[in-house]
Amino acid sequence: MHLEELISQCQKGQRAAQEALYKEYSPVLFGLCLKYSPNRSEAEDNLHDSFMTIFEKIDQFGFKGSFEGWLKRITVNTVLQKYRKSNHLNVIHDNIPEEEEWSREPEQISLSQLLSYIQELPHKYRLTFSLYVLDGYSHKEISELLGTTTGTSKSNLARARMILKNKIEKNNINIA
């Protein structure tokens, strides 16, 4: 079945098409949810909530642009909306330099270990880090998504990087 036909059938509320869409895109969207969630269980909940929103809003997809990009945007927004409502995004006021650049890239740390460290970050730091570093959002875009200031976004990113750097160094992982 072609993607356009699958989307059209989902827009008509056909369960078999919704199931096929879920099977096709859930691995990618679950990976996205893992980046923004503190643990696997919450990532699964976020994936479920995202698909509920996707099926609710699929009529709004106008076949312009990437469908996968549209799905990812809904997923990120669904997860961020959940955290905004749950008050995990309290504003912090740290005196941290604007952006401390890492001059070294992790080489001998496994992707699963790095993801684990990212998931251990406090919500506000994890969300900012994931949006900026992993998904390429600007500080202005992050501040709009999270309802904070660009200064808070920069501060949260710097704090997240510092925490991750300390975890990596504490566990004696070589970062050449």
Q: CA nearest 58: which of 101, 3, 103?
A: 3
Q: What is the pLDDT of residue 99?
A: 44
The boundaries of the domain holding residue 31 are 3-85
Torsion of CA 150, 141, 100, 174, to 10 degrees: 150
What's the first-to-final CA gap in the chain, in angstroms?
47
Do 95 and 176 lie in a common domain?
A: yes
Do 138 and 64 lie in a common domain?
A: no
pLDDT in tens, 85-110: 665 444 444 444 444 444 444 446 77
- Residues 127-152 have a mean pLDDT of 89
Residue 59, CB-side half-sphere exposure with 13 Å CA sphere: 4
Do 94 and 25 lie in a common domain?
A: no
Do 125 and 169 lie in a common domain?
A: yes
Q: How confident is the model at residue 22 (pLDDT cuts 50, 70, 90)?
A: very high
Find the CATH number of the domain harbouring 78. 1.10.1740.10
Do 48 and 112 lie in a common domain?
A: no
pLDDT in tens, 40-91: 899 999 999 999 999 999 999 988 889 999 999 999 989 888 877 665 444 4
